[in-house]
């Protein structure tokens, strides 16, 4: 038995904070007592209810869907109106099509919410667009019209034109085999199911909503029973990944596989925990799982999905920091002129993929001047970076960029970046791009400030900011309880990959402890439910 487990048994009511963090990290890396790997998705659950509801009893999933409706009538994170349209329309369609009468009040309130969203319709295609929204929303709107559901969606001509152009390309493309990234949104553009689309895990592009739509079509077309059963098992497994939720309640993407492991190790590297002797064994085991996931073409988000530049770079970072780097460089096919794309053929480079490519190449000792030039040019006036296509908070790409750059570049620009981060600290000591502080975003800020501080003597302002952050994080910390932060990752709706977020939170809290001095030596009382 690991020695860290002993102080944290229910019989022991207190333990030093750093011991608790290490035990929490060991549990995270080993995957023990953590069935909830990703949060549940309103959009995908609604699509499962519409196309492939649970065989036994769907009422609990419907009740769960109703319980997610907010007081204003909409579904989705209230802080981010653009990310509420897709889950709200999908939820309304599911309730209307399955049994409208008992849900009439919820439907009425949802329609009223949509009628008030015209101010939130973007006049251009934003960088943080919900994944596939340009395809999903028009199809949902057409299906709502067929179902005589009177939606009043905001006019978004730029988004409509973008979606129409993409739809034309997809429908003119050759037949797609399992693993193609476009299959992740198949429910928004596909019509005829084929067996070759289905991955070995039983999904279309790791998407429960796309898989449910495929399953509906496959049953109608009487495809092979073995394929249908495989898709059904995938939806059951995806539902269990959300934790203690009813059958049919599913996440927006599953499994997380390679991305989850690589991202967790990347977070440990940002916090300097990758060299901690007591984490060496689990880190080596995690690195061992990553090696088979990367080929000469790169690594995909999870097994069965096509390689992408962002995951490939994260895997390379993780393996390098675990002391087991790749002998080859599969990232070369995704980079050009100091920028990186997520998928080959993407029309524009990705901020996160460029940041992670820079980090991976720097660890290999490769030249990164062109990457740093592009990243520095992408900063805003406050010296920091903006939102990325995968995360609504500017704090995530900012922390990753500061971790990625060479020490010389960080030192040259540390003053403006440090001032920009401290200026955004909330009065309670935390950070958050919405009104409230969140653990994940506060952890990102702490990790960034720690690397900036390593280039010079810490100023009183920085010391005070880090202490305030530590106090906020210690009060918010709930050991062994998964993600404390709300959904900030961009999928078809906002979601939280629980283990990835938790790794960032714990790395940030560990780093904040290093700034708190004697305060962390006092034992921390564990609440009964946390012990």
Please calculate the CA angle 308-309-310 and round it to the nearest 5 degrees. 95
Residue 401 in contact with residue 387, Cβ under 8 Å? no
Note the pTM of the prediction, 2 decimals. 0.92
The pair of structure tokens assigned to 463 is 């010391």
Considering only 125-129, 160-164, 455-459, which range has the smallest mean pLDDT? 455-459
User: Does the pLDDT of residue 272 top 70, yes or no?
Assistant: yes
In DSSP notation, 3-61 reads GGGGGGSTT--EEEHHHHHHHHHHHHHHTTT----S---HHHHHHHHHHS--SS--HHH
Helix (H) or strand (E) holding 93: helix 85-99
Nearest by Cα to 129 from 168, 166, 196, 81: 81
Place of tokens 């790395």: 507
490 pairs with which residues across the strands? 494
Helix (H, G, I), strand (E, B) or coil at 308: strand
Residue 496 in contact with residue 483, Cβ under 8 Å? yes
CB atoms within 10 A of CB 347: 5
Banded pLDDT at 201 (limits 50, 70, 90) = very high
- Tens of pLDDT, residue by residue over 300-345, are 999 889 999 999 999 999 999 999 999 999 999 999 999 999 999 8
Q: What is the dihedral of CA 122, 126, 128, 132, to 10 degrees?
A: 80
Angle between helices 17-30 and 280-290 (to 10 degrees): 30
Nearest by Cα to 333 from 320, 324, 343: 343
Burial 10-43, CB ≥16 within 10 A → b, else e: eeeeebebebbbbbbbbbbbeeeebebbbbbbbb
Residues in Cβ contact with 377 at an 8 Å cutoff, skipping those fewer than 6 apart:
none
Gap between the Cα atoms of 142 and 178, Å rounded: 27
Residues in Cβ contact with 385 at an 8 Å cutoff, skipping those fewer than 6 apart:
351, 375, 378, 379, 394, 397, 398, 401
Cis ω on the peptide bond leading into residue 255 (within 30° of 0)?
yes
Query: Looking at residue 456, what is its pLDDT?
Result: 58
Banded pLDDT at 35 (limits 50, 70, 90) = very low
What's the rounded mean pLDDT across residues 481-506? 90
Gap between the Cα atoms of 212 and 231, Å rounded: 8
| pLDDT cut 70: percent of the chain above it | 92
Nearest by Cα to 378 from 403, 354, 343, 412: 354
Nearest by Cα to 230 from 297, 296, 172, 178: 178
Place of tokens 């009043």: 152
299 pairs with which residues across the strands? 294, 308
523 pairs with which residues across the strands? 16
- Tens of pLDDT, residue by residue over 364-400, are 999 999 999 999 999 999 999 998 889 999 999 999 9
State how far Cα 180 lies from the chain centre.
20
- Choice between 31 and 32, residue whose per-residue pLDDT is larger: 31
- Tens of pLDDT, residue by residue over 70-108, are 999 999 999 999 999 999 999 999 999 988 788 999 999
State how far Cα 472 lies from the chain centre.
23
Query: Looking at residue 524, what is its pLDDT?
Result: 52
Considering only 33-42, 178-187, 390-399, 410-419, which range has the smallest mean pLDDT? 33-42
User: Does the pLDDT of residue 9 top 60, yes or no?
Assistant: no
In the predicted model, what is the mean pLDDT of the chain?
Answer: 90
């Amino acid at each position: 038995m690991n020695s860290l487990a002993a102080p944290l048994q229910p019989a022991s009511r207190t333990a030093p904070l750093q011991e608790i963090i290490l035990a929490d990290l060991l549990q995270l890396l080993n995957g023990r007592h953590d069935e909830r790997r990703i949060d549940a998705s309103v959009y995908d659950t609604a699509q499962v209810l519409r196309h492939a509801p649970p065989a036994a009893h769907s009422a609990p999933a419907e009740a769960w869907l109703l319980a997610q409706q907010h007081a204003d009538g909409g579904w989705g994170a209230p802080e981010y109106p653009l990310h509420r349209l897709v889950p709200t329309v999908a939820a309304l369609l599911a309730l209307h099509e399955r049994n409208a009468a008992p849900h009439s009040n919820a439907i009425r309130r949802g329609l009223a919410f949509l009628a008030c969203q015209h101010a939130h319709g973007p006049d251009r295609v934003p960088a943080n667009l919900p994944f596939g929204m340009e395809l999903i929303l028009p199809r949902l709107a057409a299906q709502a019209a067929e179902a005589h559901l009177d939606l009043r969606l905001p006019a978004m001509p730029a988004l409509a034109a973008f979606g129409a152009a993409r739809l034309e390309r997809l429908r003119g493309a050759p037949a797609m085999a399992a693993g193609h990234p476009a299959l992740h949104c198949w429910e928004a553009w596909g019509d005829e199911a084929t067996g070759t689309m289905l991955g070995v895990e039983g999904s279309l592009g790791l998407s429960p909503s796309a898989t449910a739509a495929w399953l509906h079509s496959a049953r109608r077309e009487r495809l092979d029973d073995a394929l249908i059963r495989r898709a059904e098992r995938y939806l059951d497994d995806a539902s269990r990944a959300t934790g203690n939720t009813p059958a049919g309640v599913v996440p927006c993407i599953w499994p997380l596989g390679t991305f989850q492991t690589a991202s967790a190790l990347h977070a440990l590297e940002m916090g300097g925990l990758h060299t901690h002797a007591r984490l060496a064994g689990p880190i080596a085991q995690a690195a061992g799982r990553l090696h088979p996931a990367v080929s000469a073409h790169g690594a995909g988000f999870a097994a069965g999905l096509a390689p992408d530049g962002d995951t490939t770079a994260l895997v390379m970072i993780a393996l390098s920091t675990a002391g087991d780097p790749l002998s080859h460089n599969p990232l070369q096919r995704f980079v050009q002129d100091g920028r990186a794309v997520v998928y080959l053929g993407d029309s524009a480079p990705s901020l996160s993929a460029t940041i992670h490519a820079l980090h991976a190449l720097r660890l290999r000792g490769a030249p990164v001047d062109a990457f740093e030039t592009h990243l520095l040019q992408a900063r805003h006036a406050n010296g920091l970076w903006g939102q990325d296509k995968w995360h609504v908070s500017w704090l995530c790409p900012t922390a990753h960029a500061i971790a990625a750059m060479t020490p010389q570049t960080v030192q040259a620009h540390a003053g403006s970046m440090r001032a920009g981060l401290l200026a955004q600290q909330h009065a309670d000591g935390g950070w958050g791009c919405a009104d409230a502080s969140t653990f994940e975003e506060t952890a990102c800020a702490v990790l960034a400030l720690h690397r900036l501080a390593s280039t010079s003597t810490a100023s009183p302002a920085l010391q005070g900011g880090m202490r305030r952050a530590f106090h906020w994080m210690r009060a918010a910390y709930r050991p062994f309880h998964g993600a404390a932060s709300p959904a900030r990752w961009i999928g078809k709706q906002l979601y939280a990959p629980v283990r990835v977020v938790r790794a960032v939170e714990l790395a940030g809290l560990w780093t904040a402890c290093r700034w708190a001095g004697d305060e962390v030596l006092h034992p921390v009382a564990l609440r009964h439910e946390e012990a």
